[in-house]
Structure 1
Amino acid sequence: MPLRLRRASSQMSVNPPVVKKPAMDGDQDSDVFSADTCEVYEFENTKHAGQVLTTFNQLRQSGLFTDVILSAANREFPCHRAVLVAGSRYFRAMFCNDHKESREMLVQINGMQADVMDLLLDYLYTSRASITADNVQLLLEASNLFQITSLGEACTKFLEAQLDPCNCIGMREFAEAHALSELFKKASELIMDKFADVVVHEEFLELPKTRVIDYISDDDINVSREEIVYEAVKRWVAHDPVVRSEDFAELLSYVRVPLIHPSYFVNVVECDEQVSTNPACQAILQETRKYHILGNEINSARTRPRRSTGCSAAVVIVGGYDRVGGYNMPQVEAFDPVTGHWGSLAKLPAFTKSEYAVASFRNSIIVSGGRIHSRDVWLYQSHLDNWVKIAPMCKGRWRHRMVTLGGHVYSVGGYDGKNKLKSVERYDSFCNSWLEIPPMLMAVSSCALATCNGKLYVIGGGGEDPSVFNKVQCYNPDTNQWTMKAALPSPHHCVSTATHSGKIFVLGGTEKMMHICDPLNNSWSSTSVTGDKLENCGITVCGGKLYITGGKGEGPEASDAIFCYDVATGSMEQVAVMPRPSFHHGCVTIHRFGQGSAQATEQSTSAAKGYSFGRMGGDF
């Protein structure tokens, strides 16, 4: 509607302009109307607030209308309370409450440098601040003190932009002290991501021992090889050898020495006088030597790969049946409990076999026997993702069990088509041959087999008569003799076992209970962990927990569930589903390299599958 003004009178009029209003039925005089019904024109001068602040700043600089004086470092700053209150929650609390400062003309600010106070006041009066590397720390501390949030955020962003391997440790300490969560997070991420670059700078060398331990014990530090961590410890100790030499052994215990390359270990670590002459380091050296020979059989915090290497423990499911009388599956699948991802490995050779035994050996997998090819033994080479045939067993068998102990693979019991077997044989990888050792005290098939404290335990199974028994037979390699141990709480066969924290866990068969053996006390205990029986399930230790795979319940169908049992809490929950249901399968743990790691790039035979498996603990 176009604007129409009232007719001007001879005298000045202060009446507002009017606009034309559309005629309505019954209106007599509708060409003008009063201001209270006028259309609204919203006007905003975006420069006004800035102009007001500029005027206040000019008044401050001229000393006009100021009503308070701030004193810092023997210098006085005349100010306007209104501006201080508007820009700072600190001053709002001071002047708007019944504090003595609210009635005083002179307010003392202790511990504040005059130039920093100048910068703060300039910001409050102009909304501008010049942040530099020289003043950012003091300015941020002052912003936090006076609760000037916007300036503090600007200082934090400036610091984030300056993050570098040479200063990220100091930045992290500063952020932690001032509760700057975003800066703390980004500094921590940079330390983890660029650890190899961080440790060569002065900030790392000046850290206290406890903080060094925090970093080198972290699974998430990004190092392509463990030698970097070892060298970082050596450098930190050398920075103040008189004081720090006594801490070397403790720090070395957090280095994953077994994962250091064998040649570096022999030529550098073992030749280091600080290591070789320190009694506290000898156990670590011994563990490393054993790991290089025995591989995954040696399990400790130091043998757990860091995530940055792309190497992690994987649960491998080998073959099995999908149902009673069902298909003998040739598939071999690897499950990463950390990511939840699955990957397919090379299929089983001669997969028409059934009721074979499976065991991990170093970082490989051995499959032996079976109903069709009862003496055959195949080795899965994890670094090549293929199967090779190795020396056959002395005696054909199926429904037997295998386990690794002391660098040897033991094949125990089973059935040869006519009789249950007492026979036990041991594989020597260096000679590629099997050797029969003293037989068990009782013939057994479909038993459970475990190792604990350097001994072999044959648990339950089916005897020479059709019955199932609860006997436990123990073999000591040192004495080369078998003895009987405390019996299972009830007879069992078709069960599976895993060893964790010096105890043997037995699950499966026709019961819903988990039985736990304490070999040191020669005793058993039981606990209920599942609502259904899991006959011929798989069980393995991975990442410090037990993973229970598949199995058969009351019906003929196999299960596809994967459960995780936490030994520390005694709790069990389903964590994943297998690609296909399976029971009577092999279940072992080996290390795998994911795509993206240096090793995976070199060992990319299986890259198309998304998995590559590296040599751990020696070669076959």
Structure 2
Amino acid sequence: MNVTNEGYPKEVLGELNKLRERAELTDVVLEVEGRSFPCHRAVLASCSPYFRTMFTSGYAEVKLESIRIKDVSEVAMATILDYAYTGCLQTEPDQVQTVMSAARLLQVDFVYNKASKYMKDKLDMSNCVEMLMYADMLGDLTLQEASRRFIASRINQMSLQPSFLQLSLAQLQPLLNRDDLISRSEDSIVQVALRWIKFDQEERVQHLPALCRCFRHSFISADQLVELESKCPSTDCKLVYSDSTTQRLGQTGTEMQIFLRENTPNVDFHCHTPCYDPSTGMSYTMNLPLTRDGFSVAVTPDDELYLAGCAYDRDASKSEHDFFQYNHLLNSWESRCGMITRKTSCVLVYLNGYLYAIGGDDMYQTAERYDPSCDEWTSIAPMPSPISSESELCAVTLDDSIYIISNEGCYSFSTIENRWRKTKDMNEPPNMPQAVTYKGCIYSMDRSDLCYIEKYNPTNDTWECLGEYMPPEYDDAILMLYEGSLYLLVIHSKGAFCGFYVRPRWSAVKKYDLFQYQEETKSWQKPESTGMIATPITQFLDVNANTVCVVAKMIKTCLDRPESNKHLEVPSSEEDNDSDE
């Protein structure tokens, strides 16, 4: 007979743990920070080479009944002993690093590896520099690389953190040598190094020649080179730069159209969204944080993307995070400081170094300002009149002001004067407003009733209808800016006709019309070529949910590629004429 009791190992461990708890048959006591831990040498030696060597190699501890363990905290020892006797690892988030250090010393590999992975998964702007220093001290190459990669993804922002200035030269140089630094120019990378030097000018200026070898000469501006030469610590010293002709990853961005669709907990979960490159006709996908409801997206001049609104997890429970920033290198969204007022939806815009979140609260009236440099929200003057939650808002920026458009009225907020004022309402109040700024004016339309497009002139506070546009039955429409021109993309389909607004089934045949605005004649005309401008990802515009299109420079190699783009292609109106017959 050959029979195995599968539960026997667990039973034995369970009984040994009960013996430990009652201090029965224990043969050693570990003294840690004044607390005594009765243990069994055999159990300790079985999970830790540190203890196996201590108890089997003729050391004095072999005969000692009580052994003092240094450089390990009481909590960490209790956690590791619980693991040794149960196989289960449990610890509070703020104790993970302490447990990790103890596991490294005691050579408990499973605990160390799990703690290290946890730390890698929890890297953020507040801890990644300290984690790099910690990993460097431990010699943990995997955690080192994870920390460096995270810092590389936010090198400009990270260099403003006080902890970054504490890096040693040996820790800074590998960072500045990386190809995957997300920085829009080599000059910005030079400024990162100069900021580090300035923190301790007298001591660190001698390291300028060593740091210059990290800077790629081909991409440094003439003015920046002059500044570097002026800071040379000695006239006898010659600054030598890197001759690498490889651009940093952050300098390889391509302007793309990004379509983000609002979801609710009761619809399909979408963990990614399409990014379309009009210059090549290629499609990519960007990961998303969670399903979203009432979201808003803003893009900064440096192509940083922020998302605000109410987020849901897969179980349809509300997330604790309502504000995210996109990480280009990691193709992921990272939570940032939550807004002061909890919002189910809001409009988010960027202007002059700050982000503004307006509306979305119970009264649809509050407004807040976010400072990316310190990850902090502050309240600003509320809107002069509340807008009901049933009304959709859109917001655009022009000069130093933010303009709010809704079917209950239009307003502007001066960021210079920190005050609101009532502006002229649109001639036809929009139920689903969408607007863009173009050549000093605002162009707005109602996506639910595309009979007209209006132009707002802030100089004389007037709205002007740009001719009557009466489309055939359509699914959705969106105003887009591309290469300095204004376009209107209209999505059609074979579906039930409901006024001018059609909500087709997914199986409906879709086609599009693209119109380019002609400023001289104030009219919309079809351009000669539309294939590379009009996105083929039109299914994201034909669902009964809000969809926004933003334009930003994205890094192709960091995005995902669909296995096939065939399912994303859609014929133009001309190409689809035959199928309509």
**TM-score range for the pair, normalised by the shorter chain length:** 0.3 to 0.5
Question: With structure 2 as the length reference, what TM-score do the two structures score?
Answer: 0.45
Question: With structure 1 as the length reference, what TM-score do the two structures score?
Answer: 0.42
